[in-house]
């Protein structure tokens, strides 16, 4: 069996409420909260970026039961790496004392980059190329001031170690889909991403989530009712809840994996932080359905079975509950959108 042998998450302490942003731009706070289903979002501090958050998540994931020498690969998934040209994953690997005998690859596929790394590591472990490997999803996402993304783009990291020994959860199977669908993009040198607004829904998010979900269900023979937990990529609350309604996914199944109302869309980390919180709250033999989405566009779907629940040192809920509210001006300063 191949599966998750260690995991951890990290969410910055800073939060800004949706109504704080709405007031600045003269929007109706109630309409924003109800429309996006986001109450507040996490904000990386001045001294935090996708690398530092990944390191914190990694510290949380690497327990005494894990031998670092067995980790033969690290995939760093992000669209907000601190360097345009320089490996971010190498910094994480060095900081966590995983170097030098491993392969490090930085990946980018919008919000899918973290789960794409999980697919790659799973294949390398299953094929016997390495004993264990790491996949990271970490982002300090930004939206243009006054854009809809400003209400949702959050910060956080998920860190998963995949191997064969002392499994926390078995990855039973996966299914991936990809098409060339330009729903969200940012060219080199442009500070903020662009998107197709309401047109990003059906041709992008819903289409790929549905293709991946239908694919994994057909491949494995499971039905939605068989799963104790379902985690869907969450750019907002509206999209995953719409999918849930179409597929008959219950609120109880979404309970631990739908975190966007409290931390925003953490992009590459979104489904991975959701999975971390689900594993924190799971019991032996629980079945988990995980479906990611990345603009550009594609989805990865996984069926995961809990073998031996072992929550990390700091559970995800503790990061969610640990928070400090900031003003819009402080938010702009922390994201370096204004300087002193």
Active site residues: 79, 111, 233
- Classified as helix, coil or strand, 339 is coil
Exposed / middle / buried, residue 142 (Cβ in 10 Å: 0-12, 13-18, 19+):
buried
Q: What is the sign of the dihedral through the CA atoms of 305, 233, 134 and 50?
A: negative
Contact at 8 Å (CB) between 142 and 40? Answer: no
| DSSP string for residues in 281-312 | T--TT-EEEEE--BTTTEEEEEEEEESS----
- Classified as helix, coil or strand, 39 is coil
d(CA 133, CA 163): 7
Sequence-ordered alpha helix ranges (H) in 97-250: 113-126, 149-152, 207-220, 238-247
Using alpha carbons, list the distances in angstroms from residue 218 to 95, 123, 222, 297, 333. Answer: 42, 21, 7, 21, 48
- Classified as helix, coil or strand, 177 is strand
A 10 A CB-CB count for 13 gives 14
d(CA 259, CA 300): 19
Residues 6+ apart with CB under 8 A from 247: 213, 224
Would you mind telling me the total number of residues written for the chain in this entry?
340
CA atoms within 13 A on the CB side of 329: 1
């Amino acid at each position: 069996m191949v599966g998750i042998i260690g995991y951890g998450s990290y969410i910055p302490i800073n939060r800004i409420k949706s109504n704080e942003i709405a007031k600045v731009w003269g929007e109706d706070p109630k309409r924003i909260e109800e429309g996006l289903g986001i109450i507040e979002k996490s904000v990386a501090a001045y001294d935090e970026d996708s690398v530092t958050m990944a390191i914190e998540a990694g510290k949380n994931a690497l327990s005494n039961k894990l031998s670092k020498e067995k980790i033969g690969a690290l995939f760093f998934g992000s669209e907000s790496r601190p360097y345009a040209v320089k490996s971010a994953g190498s910094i994480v690997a060095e900081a966590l004392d995983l170097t030098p005998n491993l392969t490090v690859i930085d990946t980018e596929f919008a919000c899918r980059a973290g789960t794409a790394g999980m697919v790659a590591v799973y294949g390398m472990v299953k094929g016997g190329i390495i004993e264990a490997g790491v996949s990271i999803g970490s982002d300090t996402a930004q939206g243009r001031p006054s854009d809809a993304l400003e209400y949702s783009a959050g910060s956080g990291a998920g860190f998963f170690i995949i191997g064969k020994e002392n499994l926390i959860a078995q990855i039973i199977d996966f299914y991936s889909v990809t098409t060339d669908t330009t729903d969200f993009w940012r060219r080199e040198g442009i500070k903020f991403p662009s998107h197709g607004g309401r047109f990003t829904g059906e041709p992008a998010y819903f289409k790929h989530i549905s293709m991946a979900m239908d694919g994994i269900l057909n491949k494995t023979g499971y039905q939605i009712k068989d799963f104790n937990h379902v985690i869907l990529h969450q750019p907002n609350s509206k999209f995953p809840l719409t999918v849930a309604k179409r597929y008959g996914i219950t609120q109880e199944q979404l309970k631990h994996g739908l975190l966007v109302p409290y931390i925003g869309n953490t992009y590459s980390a979104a489904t991975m932080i959701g999975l971390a919180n689900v594993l924190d709250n799971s019991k032996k033999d629980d079945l988990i359905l995980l479906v990611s989405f990345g603009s550009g566009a594609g989805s990865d779907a996984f069926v995961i079975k809990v073998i031996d629940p072992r929550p990390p040192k700091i559970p995800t809920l503790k990061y969610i509950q640990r928070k400090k509210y900031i003003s819009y001006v402080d938010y702009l300063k922390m994201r370096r959108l204004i300087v002193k």
